[in-house]
Amino acid sequence: MYLFFVIASPQLFWTCYNIKKLTVNLLDSRSVIGDLGWVAYPKNGWEEIGEVDENYAPIHTYQVCKVMEQNQNNWLQTNFILNQGAQRVFLELKFTLRDCNSLPGGLGTCKETFNVYYYETNDEERRNIRESQYTKIDTIAADESFTELDLGDRVMKLNTEVRDLCPLSKKGFYLAFQDLGACIALVSVRVFYKKCPFVVRNLALFPDTITGPDSAQLLEVSGTCVNNSVADELPRMYCSAEGEWLVPIGRCMCQAGHEEVNGSCQVCKPGFYRSALQTKSCSKCPPRSFTKVEASTSCQCEQGYYRTESDPSNMACTKAPSAPRNAISNVNETSVFLEWSAPEETGGRKDVRYNIVCSKISTDSGQYEPCGSHVRYLPQRTGLKNTSIMVMDLLAHTNYTFEVEAVNGVSELTAPLRQYVSLNVTTNQAAPSPITVVKKGKTAKNSISVSWQEPDRPNGIILEYEIKYFEKDQETSYTIIKSKETDVLVDGLKPSSAYIFQIRARTSAGYGGFSRRFEFETSPYSVAASSDQGQVPIIAVAVTVAIILIALVTGFLMSDCCHTDSCAETLLFRRRCGYSKAKQDPDEEKMHFHNGHIKFPAVRTYIDPHTYEDPNQAVHEFAKEIDVSCITIERVIGAGEFGEVCSGLLRLPGKREIPVAIKTLKAGYTEKQRRDFLGEASIMGQFDHPNIIHLKGVVTKSKPVMIITEYMENGSLDTFLKKNDGQFTVIQLVGMLRGIASGMRYLSEMGYVHRDLAARNILVNSNLVCKVSDFGLSRVLEDDPEAAYTTRGGKIPIRWTAPEAIAYRKFTSASDVWSYGIVMWEVMSYGERPYWQMSNQDVIKAVEENYRLPGPMDCPTALYHLMMDCWQKDRNSRPKFEEIVSILDKLIRNPSSLKGLVNPSNRVSNLLVEHGSPEGCVFRSVEEWLEAIKMGRYTELFMERGYTSLDVVTQMTLEDLRRVGVTLAGHQKKILNSIQEMRVQMMNATMPI
């Protein structure tokens, strides 16, 4: 049977966007002006009437009330409804329905329900539709029906029902309402779909996105960077079925010369600049610099002012200093002490240094000439920081000119005019300098011939030399002889005995200092005489033998370690690679040999600051020095290994004030503690990743010494989760885990091993972004069974540490993966303590016996499988961080994979599960299971209480065992352990990894 013809009414199909409700109306009968134009069949069934709503606004309603007649089949069909590309739409019905009991005489034919259908088609002009072609949506019943009393009181009992239509695949559809004998009025019909609205997040544009056909589906949407911005990491978000944007990943950053303003990148105005992507806003040009154009990336220095290549772009332009002032000299024989005051004008810089230029009048030409290399300067001649210097080893009775020059970082860029102050001095009479060269001549059994050279600086005429000698180890009994020549024969000595000689010269100014000690030995009785020439063959033979031995040893080592022609390259490679927080493993080396050559990876590599001879050099290389005047400390928020942790504000010149965290070094520190404290900054300064805590800089030139980092509003992850227990969705928790894994992937790619990855060392900001922190120094295992290793300031428990790291001190990225599995467990259990109250020794023993933590309450199976993979005993079997990030991305894109749970909410607590339990231990009945675990005595009690199947038994709790009648603590523990093992076996057998 064919129904009725359809007449389209275009005015029904206007679209209403409601951003707040995230819905788009396809049809709303209350908003239509004029007739709806719907078709009823038969014509005496549904009828359109005009009514007013609660606000007395006119509305269109359809009603039917054929309750006294039998075999009713009244249809009402809407016009064609375009779905606008939506695959899932919603139908909202508002209606009233008469209570059949209030209709006398109609109980046999009266109905209190009606049916709703739809027909999907691409044809907007379809004229006839059979009843059988419709698809039923639902049978609609009223929650409230009205009676005759309600009519008298004009009370409208309005019912609202919402149904969804999915999946839709064609251009549009018709709706139809079937009445089978009810008294009903359709007050309102609204058809709509949900969408995630256009939004700008992290400088990325995300378009209007219609939700998917599945109620649990998340649609991954890629964002487009706003104008004048670039992607730091491809921006993505997920559109949920409810029209909400979830899990933002990646970000865009304004290009240099632009800044973020209300979600867009605006050009920097003249007088402002932005040089790097890391800074957020345009900065005002520093003093003595300017820009005249928009979108400037740097500021130009004013004339006469300069900036070095190493100066940061936010530093003021500077000039060379003026000359030092108030220079004075103090002559002491052949030494001069020079002292001066700092320049009146430093040029706006703090790196003022001083150079000394020494010259003297030549006795030959009468012109000034350089002083020569024999002159000594304490502490140094150039690059002086202090305003004084000692010049020594000058010539006596000589006129000198000293120029004290002031320089700074831009002196080389200025005009060639030097800024210095001159001093003229004349040295006094002085004793000769020490003799430096003493030689042994002929030796006999009772005598030694000794000769020497004149002092380098005699400072006058040498009148005589004094020779002091004594038998070795008999210093208190010495002999002094004098000579006017530069050689002497010393006799009266013992044969085969060693003697110590020291010589000094005398002028009219007195004696100079003794030479260093020279040791010579007399000949034995059997040797009449010998000389240095006689020892030459012996020395030559000895040297030759030594060279041969070294060559043999070197050849052996080279043959043992080299198998190509590039042994030199191999040795260089082994010496320079492997900078890591822990000793690098051979299978983790990132360099590869190919045809005898080394291929270096194209990634940035972490450099261990301990490899620097001067630790301060590492700090200055990787961390920015911040002036303490830029920092305001507000309050103490915690305590670290080396001192207090505070929150405060940082305001750099030309930039806005930002909140920061400040680590301070406690008073009374040793130099070693200071070096260890700043070592963390040297490590942190090498990292740049959105999931790694960002170092702002350090304060080392004043006290207290400080490390400045970005401020994380929500603090440590473990404390944050405990405060918000149960407040997050699984998707949000997985998003946090994904951020941590992304940061650890970056660290592992740089060759850095963290070794202390735990929820307490993850910080959370206001946007729930998790960032890895705590980059402490090396730790050493102790004999204390309650500590795995110690840092310089405190102990760290072993609960997060991989077994090979505890047993063999083998820290690698694979051991960090083990720790990450523990962090996953902490996150999913909302900060619960791993292994609860077990002692560290019990934890070590349990892990070695292949036991692992059970799945947290309501933990998705897929996540628990990933935890167990991270806890593989063989470190080579654990996933890499790159694989972990990929797995978590897949789970986020497919949230239905997170629905399966490891265990119900009333899980057995404080029990470990055996990793990889044998699947052969499968029981066929409760009786067989209890007998196998030697608990057969409780079989009847289990049966009486209804625990007759293993499926029911696996849901038992400790309280259930007590109700059954198992009262002994040891038996309770044994049975619960076995129950937990059965759960794991069932999970492994039925759930995919």
CA 598/CA 620 separation, integer angstroms? 31
191 is in an annotated binding site: no
Q: Is 770 exposed, middle or buried (0-12, 13-18, 19+ CB in 10 A)?
A: buried
Residues 380, 441: contact at Cβ < 8 Å? no
C-alpha span between 305 and 417 (Å, rounded)? 15
644 is in an annotated binding site: yes
Among candidates 263, 76, 250, 351, which has minimal Cα distance to 689? 250
Q: Between the CA of residue 551 and those of 147, 321, 544, 556, what are the distances in Å? A: 113, 57, 11, 9
Spatial neighbors of 412 by CB under 8 A, at least 6 apart, are: none
Q: Which of 973, 593, 644 is nearest to 793 (CA)?
A: 644
Phi (first) and psi of residue 24, to 5 degrees:
-130, 120
- Burial class from Cβ neighbours inside 10 Å (0-12, 13-18, 19+) for residue 333 reads middle
Close Cβ partners of 537 (under 8 Å, ≥ 6 residues apart) = none
Helix (H) and strand (E) counts in the chain: 17, 55
Parallel, antiparallel or unpaired: strands 706-710 and 762-764: unpaired
As annotated, the active-site residues are 756
Question: CA 649, 651, 656, 661 torsion: positive or negative?
Answer: negative
Parallel/antiparallel/unpaired status of strands 272-273 and 47-52: unpaired
Distance, CA of 267 to CA of 259 (rounded, Å)? 6
348 is in an annotated binding site: no
Question: 125 in helix, strand or coil?
Answer: coil
- Establish whether 663 is an annotated binding residue: yes
Q: 608-643 burial string, b = 16+ CB within 10 Å, else e?
A: bbeeeeebeebbbebbeebeeebbebeeeeeebbbb
DSSP secondary structure, 793-850, as one string: TEEE-GGGS-HHHHHH----HHHHHHHHHHHHHHHHTTSPPTTTT--HHHHHHHHHTT
Phi-psi region of 459 (alpha: psi -120 to 50; beta: other; left: phi over 0): left
Is it true that the peptide bond before 379 is cis, omega within 30 degrees of 0?
A: yes
The token pair that represents 159 in the structure block: 């019912």
Which phi and psi angles does 748 have, rounded to 5°? -65, -35
For the beta sheet containing 245-254, the strands, ordered from the edge strand earlier in sequence to the opposite edge, are: 219-222, 229-239, 245-254
Q: Is 430 annotated as a binding residue?
A: no
With CA atoms as reference, report the closest residue to 622 among 685, 692, 544.
685
641 labeled part of a ligand binding site: yes
Q: Measured at the alpha carbon of residue 158, what is the angle toward residues 155 and 161, in degrees to the nearest 5?
A: 170
d(C-alpha 165, C-alpha 175), whole Å: 11
Task: Evaluate whether 408 touches 320 at the Cβ level (below 8 Å).
Answer: yes
- 831: Cβ contacts below 8 Å, ≥ 6 apart: 717, 718, 719, 720, 721, 722, 725, 759
Cα separation, 958 vs 799, in Å, equals 26
Task: Kindly give the residue spans of alpha helices, DSSP state H, lying in 562-670.
Answer: 567-576, 615-622
638 assigned binding-site residue: yes
What one-letter code names the amino acid at 373? S
Find out whether 492 is annotated in a ligand binding site: no
Q: Token pair for residue 233?
A: 């990491």
**Short-list 871, 780, 787, 782, CA closest to 824:** 871
Please check if 826 is assigned to a binding site.
Answer: no
Neighbours of 845 (CB within 10 A): 12
**679 marked as part of a ligand binding site:** no
Instruction: Quote the tokens at residue 264.
Output: 């867009």
Annotated binding site: 637-645, 663
Annotated binding site for ATP: 637-645, 663
